Chain A
Amino acid sequence: MKSNYRFATMVIVLALLLAACGGGSPTTPPPGQPTQPPAVEEATQPYPAAEQPTQAPATTDAYPAPETAPAAGEVVTLQVWDILTRDVETEVMETLIQEFEAAHPGVTVERTVKTFDDMKATARLGLSSPDGPDIAQINQGLSDMGALVKADLLVDLTPYAEQYGWFEKISPSIVARNSFTPGGEVFGEGSLYGMPITAELVGVFYNKEKFEAAGVEVPTTFAEFEAALDTLLAAGEVPLAYGTLDKFPAIHVFSEIQGNLVDRQYLDDFIFGRNNQSFDIPENVEAAQKLVEWAEKGYFTPGYEGIGYEDSWKLLSDGQAAAMITGSWISGDLAAGPNGDKFGFFLTPSETARGTHISVGGTSTAFAIRKGSPNEQLAAEYIDWMVSDRAAQLWLEKGIVPVQPGDASAVQPGTLDGDLVAAWDLLNDNDMVGHYLDWATPTFYDTITAALAELQAGRITPEEFTAQVQEDYGAYIASKGQ
């Protein structure tokens, strides 16, 4: 009798287990409700409910005309993975998606937001699965987009770019960094595989009040810039907010200094692996030397080695520093924070008034379409929606620079947005958009961040620094030559 009870209990337990495993499939919206709000799965940050969107224009001129529409009654789900985790970015995306769904009856957008690192680790898996996302936001460079092109997982976007006129929106250097030859052999030419939607420019954010109080004007040459930093230091301010615990900020500051000393040809060759360039050149040694000088003079936040990136820009936002060399991705949050209206932006001035100083950065990571997606045309339309004039308007309202040359009339000059858009227009018009050094080789990020940390700690000399970095680059170039 006892064993019968035991048996019964066991059967019940097993049944419960199986039932628990069987349920829990991802919810798909029931048909017949095409205007359902998008389901945001796995949001990595809580976000405030989308504000009332600014009135959409009455005419549909700002929207690209929908070229695809599902058959009546059919429900299409577009799966999008992106890394727009910041609060302001989420607000813009929510609005754009709502309007996209309204203009495309029968289409539901399912958006999954991931962090940069998370996307890097999971994009490959998602894009090689038949149930994977239709669109994913992929990092440029060899180890990310290049590897995916090599594995034939991305759709060649060139025909769509021509159809929607994307080549008119972005400068040739931006096209180049999102291009690979089919097979992923050569970086920087060939077919377009990703379309970025926002710009990223690295330059100097500054607190106008502090500059005024110290009697400093926006510098027009690099020498003036250094003099300004000296004056700010003497006035008791921390000239540059800085924190290298998260490693990458050092790349940006070094690159901004380097950008004054090397030309476009060298950087393009270096990043795209052409013409056997070397990192171990006198200009890079000089740039490294300058970085060390700045640290020794005390331009940077004291204790920067132990401060993380998010904490460092917050120092600027809280008024604990006068300026910061970093990228436009913080502009939205900076403007929304305390002291938001006190900030301005200027590009790191060039050594001589050459005007061809290459700025670090370029664009946000790019939207790519999975090969084998059943909704290719719709996906392309979604991407086009995200670079439309309407999208540009929304990005600018939130203080983020869209990828296309800005409509100067949409922003007030003299505000942070105005400064950013003007700077971006300058870069775009003069093909001055530079690169991120860590694209050079798959292992470059680890190599150069480690070397920069050692350089700034005084454990290696500038000469040793460039030699150490060159070891990585040289080995890579040699292996490619085989």
Chain B
Amino acid sequence: MPTRKVDVQAYLYILPALAFYAVFILWPILQTFWYSFHDWDGITLPTFTGLSNYLELAGDETFLAAIRNNLFFILFYTVLPIAFALLLTTLLTRRKIRGLTFFRAGLFLPQVMAMVVVGVAWRWIYHPLSGPLNQLLRAVGLEAWARPWLGDFDLALPAVGLIATWVQYGFCMVLFIAGVQHIEEGLYYAARIDGAGELQQFRHVTLPGQTGQIGVALVTTLIAALRIFDLVYVTTRGGPGTQTLVSALYLYRNAFGINRVGYGAAIAVVLTILILLISYAVLRFQSRQERMVQ
């Protein structure tokens, strides 16, 4: 076999982006990793403390509560949007719908909006007195349901979660609509001939055919759920109490609020590892599914 010539031109094409990436993303990641082993206030000299930040994290009740909230957000970022999107995709795409492109664009719009804007807008929607949600509830006679959503200890987390569902749902929809169109109509034909009902067609034709898309949706939404910061910061700042506190917000508080940059770095590292582990698990599961389909 002839030796492959190194395609220098190819590397030169990616060099600018790679340089940018290396300087602004890779290097700071390594630096953060390094900081996590130190006690540092961000201004004076850091002191090397080995694994003490990680040991402290393991016993930090607030951090564990934050991780629990992140996991809870997975329900709203991942499970609900994907479930809704799958359901609606099957209902919609196998029928002729006029202006599907328009709906697709509209559904995707929340993804394009800055999370901060989304947060501010929803804060107004949730306003206890003048927000449209409570006004609507009062108008239909459901006065008792008109709660102070973002300040309620029990409802704040789901309230913020629903905003996330609103944002992610469109993204999953668009993914699945595109995916369903790749499934051969012939497979549905064959299934119907074999006597499969709608639900069985969904389980045995649609779902396996969407494995790739589901995998992408899972990984993207899971990462979003674990990374969440701006939405919580703008709506509740982690309140009331620590009900909506998430890891990224706890990191921000430590690093910039109380000058514990080393501790914040340790939180960042733990969060990164968690995200990598979950993404790896999803991708492994997905590739196994794909092999089964084939």
Contact-residue size bin, chain A (C-beta under 8 Å from the other chain): 35 or more
Residues of chain B lying within 8 A (CB to CB) of residue A451: 241
Determine the distance from Cα of A303 to Cα of B92 in the docked complex, in whole angstroms. 40
Q: Given A17-B16, A143-B258, A457-B153, are A307 and B237 neighbors across the interface (CB < 8 Å)?
A: no
B290 close to A (CB within 8 Å): no
Cβ B242 vs Cβ A450 within 8 A: yes
List residues of chain B with CB within 8 A of the CB of A247. 237, 239
| Stretch among A51-59, A76-84, A120-128, A204-212 lining the B interface | A120-128
Asked whether any CB of chain A lies closer than 8 Å to the CB of B240, the reply is yes
Determine whether B257 belongs to the interface, using a CB cutoff of 8 Å to chain A.
Answer: yes
Would A305 and B148 count as touching, CB distance under 8 A?
A: yes
Shortest Cβ distance from B1 into chain A, in angstroms? 23
Query: B43 touching A450 by the CB < 8 A rule?
Result: no
The CA of A383 and the CA of B44, in the complex, are separated in Å by 27
- Known contacts A147-B43, A442-B259, A307 near B242 by CB under 8 Å: no
Residues of B within 8 A of A245 (CB): 123, 150-151, 236, 239
Per DSSP, chain A at the interface is helix
Which residues of chain A are within 8 angstroms of B48 by Cβ–Cβ distance? none
Q: How far is the CA of A124 from the CA of B151 in the complex (A)?
A: 32
A17 to B12, CA, bound (A): 13
Given A150-B44, A303-B148; A453-B256 close (CB under 8 Å): no
Q: How large is the interface on B (under 10, 10 to 19, 20 to 34, 35 or more residues)?
A: 20 to 34
Asked whether A307 lies within 8 Å of B127 as measured between CB atoms, the reply is yes
Residues facing A in B120-158 (CB within 8 A) are 123, 126-129, 134, 146-153
From A2-10, A168-176, A269-277, the one touching the partner chain is A2-10
B102 surroundings in chain A (CB, below 8 A): none
**Any A CB within 8 A of the CB of B230:** no
Q: Contacts A10-B13, A148-B43; is A450 near B127 (CB within 8 Å)?
A: no
Cβ-neighbour of B152 out of A306, A308, A311 (below 8 A): A306
Contact between B237 and A306, CB atoms less than 8 A apart = no
- Whether A10 and B127, one on each chain, are in contact in the complex, defined by CB atoms closer than 8 angstroms, is no
Given the complex of chains A and B, what is the CA–CA distance between A6 and B7 in angstroms?
Answer: 13
- Of residues 295 through 339 on chain A, the ones whose CB sits less than 8 Å from some CB of chain B are 301-308, 311, 315, 320
Is B197 interfacial (CB-CB < 8 Å)?
Answer: no
Q: Which residues of A contact B42 (CB under 8 A)?
A: 124, 147
Q: Could you tell me if A3 and B43 are in contact, using CB atoms closer than 8 angstroms?
A: no
Interface members, chain B 218-265 (any A CB < 8 Å): 236-237, 239-242, 253, 256-259
Among A143, A150, A303, the residue within 8 A (CB) of B129 is A303
Given A124, A307, A442, which contacts B128 in the complex, CB threshold below 8 Å? A307
Check: A341 CB closer than 8 A to any chain B CB: no
Across-interface contacts of B236 in A (CB, < 8 A): 245
Contact of B43 among A124, A305, A442, A457 (CB under 8 A): A124
Does chain A have a CB within 8 A of B3? Answer: no
Query: A303 vs B43: C-alpha distance in the bound complex, in angstroms?
Result: 41
> Residue A454 at the B interface, CB < 8 A?
yes
CB distance from B231 to the nearest CB of A (A): 14
B interface majority secondary structure: loop
CB < 8 Å: which of B123, B240, B257 contacts A308?
B123
Least distance between B62 CB and chain A CB atoms (Å)? 9
B16 touches A304 (CB 8 A): no
Q: Which residue of chain B is the closest to A303 with respect to CB atoms?
A: B128
A454 to B126, CA, bound (A): 20
- Does A446 lie at the interface of the complex (its beta carbon under 8 Å from any beta carbon of B)? yes
Taking the complex as formed, is A153 at the interface, i.e. its CB lies under 8 A from any CB of chain B? yes
Q: Are A147 and B41 in contact (CB under 8 A)?
A: yes
When distances are taken between beta carbons in the complex, the residues of chain B under 8 Å from A6 are 9
CA distance A246 to B253 in the complex (A): 15
B10-54 toward A: CB 8 Å interface, digit per residue (1/0)? 001100100000000000000000000000011110000000000
Q: Which of B12, B126, B147 contacts A10 (CB 8 A)?
A: B12
Q: B241 near A120 (CB under 8 angstroms)?
A: no
Question: Are B152 and A305 in contact, with the CB atoms below 8 A?
Answer: yes
Q: Are A307 and B151 in contact, CB atoms less than 8 angstroms apart? A: yes
Residue among A246, A306, A308, A443 with max Cβ neighbours from chain B (10 Å) = A306
Q: Does A90 contact B (CB under 8 A)?
A: no
Complex-state Cα separation, A121 to B259, whole angstroms: 10
CA distance A7 to B13 in the complex (A): 10
> Contacts of B258 on A, CB cut-off 8 Å?
143, 442-443
B242 CB contacts on chain A under 8 angstroms: 450
A39 contacts B by Cβ under 8 Å = no
Q: Is A137 an interface residue (CB 8 A)?
A: no
| Closest Cβ neighbor of B146 among chain A residues | A303
A204 CA / B129 CA spacing, docked (Å): 23
Q: Do B129 and A302 have beta carbons less than 8 Å apart?
A: yes
Contact residues, A410-447 vs B (CB, 8 A): 442-443, 445-446
B44: A residues at CB distance < 8 A: 150-151
For residue B15, which residue of chain A has the nearest CB?
Answer: A14
User: CA separation between A6 and B8, bound complex, in Å?
Assistant: 12
B146 partner residues in chain A, CB cutoff 8 A: 303
The residues of B that contact A315 with a CB separation of less than 8 Å are: 129
A139–chain B nearest beta-carbon distance, Å: 11
Compute how far the CA of A308 lies from the CA of B148 in the bound complex, rounded to whole angstroms. 11
Residue of B nearest to A18 (CB): B16
Contacts of A443 in B (CB 8 A): 258
User: Nearest Cβ distance between residue A130 and chain B, in whole angstroms?
Assistant: 15
Shortest distance in angstroms between B293's beta carbon and chain A's nearest beta carbon?
Answer: 39
Contact with A along B156-171 (1 / 0, CB 8 A): 0000000000000000
A315-B153 Cα distance, complex, nearest whole Å: 23
Instruction: Determine whether the beta carbon of B256 is less than 8 Å from that of A121.
Output: yes
B240 / chain A contacts, CB cutoff of 8 Å: 244, 305, 450, 453-454, 457
Which chain B positions have C-beta within 8 A of A459?
Answer: 153, 241
Q: Report the minimal beta-carbon distance from B69 to chain A, rounded to whole angstroms.
A: 14
Q: Is the CB of A446 within 8 A of B43?
A: no
Given contacts A245-B236, A303-B128, 10 further A-B contacts (CB under 8 A): A121-B256, A151-B44, A244-B240, A302-B128, A304-B151, A307-B128, A443-B258, A449-B239, A453-B151, A457-B240
Q: Please name the 9 residue pairs, one residue from A and one from B, whose CB atoms are nearest each other, closest first.
A: A305-B151, A303-B128, A306-B148, A151-B43, A306-B151, A303-B148, A453-B240, A305-B148, A442-B258
The contact sample of 5 A-B pairs, CB cut-off 8 A, is A17-B16, A303-B151, A307-B128, A315-B129, A453-B153
Residues of B within 8 A of A (CB): 9, 12-13, 16, 41-44, 123, 126-129, 134, 146-153, 236-237, 239-242, 253, 256-259
Residues on A facing B (Cβ under 8 Å) = 3, 6-7, 10, 14, 17, 120-121, 124, 128, 143, 147-148, 150-151, 153, 244-247, 301-308, 311, 315, 320, 442-443, 445-446, 449-451, 453-454, 457, 459
